[in-house]
A = this chain, B = another copy of it.
Amino acid sequence: MKRVTIKDIAKVANVSYTTVSRALSGSSEIGEGTRQRILQIGKDMGYTANAVARSLVAKETKLIGLLVSSINNPFMSEIAYHVEESARKKGYNLMLCNSSGNIEQEEEAYKLLVGRQVDGIILVPCGAHSYERLHPYLDTVPTVFVSENLRDIQESYVTVDNHRGTYIGVEYLYSLGHRSIVYFARRLASTTHQLRAQGYGDACKALHLKPQYVDSHFASSSIQHGYTLALEWFRGKHNYSAIFAAADTIALGILQAAEECGVRIPEDVSLLGFDNISFSALPKINLSTIEQPKHMMASVAVEMLIEKMKTPAMRYSHKIMNPELVIRGSCKAVPQI
C-alpha cells in the first residue's frame, strides 16, 4: 500500500530527488545517461507520480468540474460523455457532481468544487436562478454554462438557439399543412423554456396561426407532466392537428397518453419534440424532433473553458448553436380535403 515516491527512487539511484524530478518531468537540464537510468529504476519500482503534490505546487489540478442536475438523464449523460472525451484529449480529468435539480445542492456542489481546486467548471444549471445564486463564487473559478440561455448575462455559456428551434419546428409543421398547432409547454424557471415558448409564439404570429399553450403549474418529472397534460387534453374536444412538445420527455408522456386514449400518432395527430434524446430514435418511438447538437456543445464548452482558464483577462463569451430538424415518423402531412 505504501506508494513509492521520488525520494525512494533517489535513494536507489544515488542522486538527489531533484534530479529524479527532472528525469521524470522531461526537463532538459539533465544528462541523458542519468535520465535513462532513473527512468528505468522508476519503472522497476512501479512509480506513479503523485498528482496531488504536483497540483499543490503547480497551482493547477488539471481537473474540470462537471456539475449537472442529473447524470441519470439522457440529455445530460450524453453531454457528460462528450465532455469527458474532449477534456481527456486535452489532458483534463473530470470531477462529477449531481445537483439533483436542487438549487441548494447545486450551490453546495459548486463550493465543493472550488475547494477541490478544479481549474474550471462546466455547469448544466438546474434553472434560471442558478446564475444569481452562484454569482458570488463565479469569479473564483472559470465557469461555462451549458444549455441554459442566460441571454445578456455576463457569463460564458454555450447553448442552442432555442427560439429558432421552435420557430423552425412550427414552420415544418406548417409546411405539412398544419394550421392549428398546440404547444405543450413546461413552465419552468428556465430561460430555455421561455425562449422555446416565445419562438413558438413568434412563428405562429408570422404564419398567422393562433398560438395555443397547454401547461400546468404542477411540477413533477417531465414525462409525467406530459402524460397528465395530454390525458386531459385528449378527453376534451379541441380543434387541432399537431402537438409541439417543449421537450422530448414531454412528448414521451404524450405518447403514452395517446396510446391509452386511442389517439394514433401520426395518423390522427402529428407530434414534434425538442432535444433529440437517444430514446427518441428508438423505432417504436420514432419521434420527429429538434436536435440540440450535444456533441458539439460539449466540445465547444470544453474549449471555451480552457480558453477562459488560459486568459484570465477574458470576461465571458457566448456561443449559440444551430438547432436542426430531425424528421422521423411522428409527423404527417394533413390530407387535402
Is A275 located at the chain interface by the 8 A CB criterion?
A: no
A49 proximity list for chain B (CB < 8 A): 115
Give the Cβ gap from A231 to chain B, nearest Cβ, in Å.
Answer: 12
Residue interface bits A279-322, CB-to-B below 8 A is 1, else 0: 10011110000000000000000000000000010000000000
Q: Are B71 and A111 in contact, with the CB atoms below 8 A?
A: no
A50 in contact with B115 given A72-B80, A77-B72, A84-B96 (CB within 8 Å): yes
Asked whether B256 lies within 8 Å of A283 as measured between CB atoms, the reply is yes
Cα–Cα, bound, A285→B81 (Å): 25
Interface string of A62-76 (1 = CB under 8 A from B): 010010001111100
A135, chain B: closest CB distance, angstroms: 13
A48 to B141, CA, bound (A): 12
Indicate whether A48 sits within 8 Å of B259 (C-beta atoms), given known contacts A93-B95, A96-B66. Answer: no
Residues of chain B with a CB closer than 8 A to A73's CB: 77
Known A71-B81, A84-B96, A95-B94; judge A48-B114 contact (CB<8 A): yes
Contact with B along A126-148 (1 / 0, CB 8 A): 00000000000001100000000
A63 to B95, CA, bound (A): 9
Answer whether residue A171 sits at the interface, using C-beta atoms and an 8 A cutoff.
no
Q: Check if B56 sits within 8 Å of A53, measured CB to CB.
A: yes
Q: Is the beta-carbon distance between A94 and B93 smaller than 8 angstroms?
A: no
Q: Which residues of B contact A100 (CB under 8 A)?
A: 85
- Flag if B96 contacts A112 (CB, 8 Å): no
Kindly provide the distance from the CB of A302 to the nearest chain B CB, expressed in whole angstroms: 14
Q: Which of B66, B71, B117 touches A51 (beta carbons < 8 Å)?
A: B117
Contact partners of A278 in chain B: CB under 8 A:
72
Confirm or deny: A252 has a beta carbon within 8 angstroms of a beta carbon on chain B.
Answer: yes
Per-residue CB proximity of A244-288 to B under 8 Å, as 1/0? 000000001001100110000000000000000011001111000
**Which of A94, A139, A252, A284 has most chain B Cβ within 10 Å?**
A284
Determine the residue in chain B with the shortest Cβ distance to A60. B52
Q: Is A202 an interface residue (CB 8 A)?
A: no
A182 at the interface (CB under 8 A from B): no
Further 11 A-B residue pairs, CB within 8 A, beyond A80-B96, A260-B283: A48-B111, A48-B140, A51-B116, A52-B52, A63-B95, A66-B96, A71-B71, A72-B78, A94-B97, A96-B96, A255-B282
Could you show 21 A-B contacts with beta carbons less than 8 Å apart? A1-B312, A48-B111, A48-B140, A50-B117, A51-B117, A52-B55, A52-B61, A71-B80, A72-B80, A74-B74, A77-B77, A77-B80, A81-B98, A85-B100, A93-B95, A93-B97, A95-B96, A96-B96, A255-B282, A260-B283, A284-B285
